[in-house]
Amino acid sequence: MEAFFTNGGYPMMHFGLIGHPLGHTLSPWIHRQLFALGRRDASYEAMDIAPEHLSSRMPELLGLDGFNVTIPHKQAVIPLLSGLSQRAALYGAVNTVSGGIGYNTDCLGFLQALQGGGIALSGKAAVLGAGGASRVFAMEAALAGCDVTIAGRLSSLPKARALAEEVAEKVPGAQVSFCDLEELRGPFDVLINGTPAGMFPNTDACPVSYAVIGGCAAVFDAVYNPTDTVLLQKAKASGAKAVGGMPMLVWQAAKAQEIWFHTAFDAKEVDALIPEATAELGRGFGR
């Protein structure tokens, strides 16, 4: 790759995000703010890569200084890498690559978001969905000692069952079950949505019934666009603690850069980016 030098004489570093379809994504904006915080001369490009082209594009991607991975490549990229971190191997999902090694910072962003919202990962936990994000949520809930129920739509029930079996295998002593989303019954100490239900432009959707929401002490919704989903609105109306996906999005990006640059951010500076990211979302994402 051709090297571009900044005024300081150091080569500019190049990073990116792969997924399909990408459409609008807030990730480049977030990473630019983080580059500024860390005083880094770096670029970040969103690259829409169809699944059938992933393998042929890997030499190009591995020529970058690092890249992020989103749907639908979080699992498909694994055989194309030279190794995995312990967390990425546990989840079977990668969202950050550095030096040909796959990492998962979604988990760190998730845990940071819960902590910031005063939500304890304990007791009975319901995880909605069985995709890449839900794999992380289910594993983390089991590791925290929760009694975990993984709920999926009827069409994806085999995936929910397979995930439940995998969690039980990888986390000794885990209490984990699965069910059809329509048959989910509480109460739950925490409900975690890893599905895209309620995401822009389908903002009227809600992944579970209001009766289920009413039986939850806390709700985390990984959807960040909009920042206040129907799920979160109903949770707050019922008196539950409610946290959306923006803190997780910002923190997983920060943790990715900590891997790329072998450094650590000031937590207060990263937290200050969360409302800024929410404002940026409002300015540029069709609302």
Give me the active site residues, please. Answer: 74
CA 114 to chain centre: 13
Kindly report the length of the chain: 287
CA 229 to chain centre: 16
Count Cβ atoms below 10 Å from residue 284 Cβ, excluding itself: 11
The C-alpha atoms of residue 265 and residue 248 are separated, in whole angstroms, by 15
Of 216, 157, 159, nearest to 192 by C-alpha is 216
Angle of helix 132-143 relative to helix 157-170, nearest 10 degrees, comes to 40
The C-alpha atoms of residue 42 and residue 257 are separated, in whole angstroms, by 11
| Alpha-carbon distances of 102 from 35, 242, 261, rounded to whole Å | 21, 31, 15
Count Cβ atoms below 10 Å from residue 287 Cβ, excluding itself: 12
Of 75, 50, 42, 6, nearest to 256 by C-alpha is 42
The C-alpha atoms of residue 224 and residue 198 are separated, in whole angstroms, by 10
Helices vs. strands in the chain: H and E counts, helices first: 10, 12
Classify residue 51 by its DSSP letter.
G
Which alpha helices (DSSP H) does 144-215 contain, by range? 157-170, 210-214
